[in-house]
Amino acid sequence: MNLTYYLQTFDHFLIYLGTSLVLFLIGTYIFKLITPYSERALIKNGNVAVSLKLLGKMGGLVVVLQSAIRSSINLVDLAIWAFVAIIIQIVLHLVIEYVLTRNTNLAKEVEKGNVAVGLLLGGVSILVGLIVAASISF
């Protein structure tokens, strides 16, 4: 085991970790901005549907981030893929909300605590994240 190598590359680890955590927080904040209700308040009041939806969006973003970290050639590359993932998840949410389920307001259903809808939206976000992550190639 070459301890010197690990000590020399530890700064890269910290830089990528810090950058990824910042990108994760930015993505989560953007998801919060496009949500028409206060996720924090609803989760605090025990709304499992909101929690599942948010967790799925965060999970989908993390899956893409881990793939981008493994494949990226620099920090700019990592940031580009993170923002691609955020945009794709937002577009997917709008497609599901307004095209596939025209007669149902999914945001209102999640806000009311419909666990099935929250789980569906969270799960789809994770699945899309997996597809985006697998598509990242260089």
pTM for the model? 0.84
Alpha-carbon distance of 119 to 52, in angstroms, equals 5
Structure token pair of residue 25: 């927080």
Structure token pair of residue 10: 């530890």
State the residue for tokens 């981008």: 68
Instruction: Kindly report, residue by residue over 106-138, the tens digit of the pLDDT.
Output: 889 999 999 999 999 999 999 988 998 888 866
Instruction: Kindly report, residue by residue over 65-97, the tens digit of the pLDDT.
Output: 999 888 888 999 889 988 888 888 888 877 887
Domain encompassing residue 58: 3-137
How remote is the C-alpha of 45 from its chain's centroid? 23
Do 44 and 54 meet the contact criterion of CB atoms below 8 Å apart?
no
Instruction: Kindly report, residue by residue over 18-73, the tens digit of the pLDDT.
Output: 999 999 999 999 988 988 899 999 999 999 999 999 999 999 999 989 998 888 88
When divided into structural domains, the chain yields a total of 1
Alpha-carbon distance of 118 to 109, in angstroms, equals 8
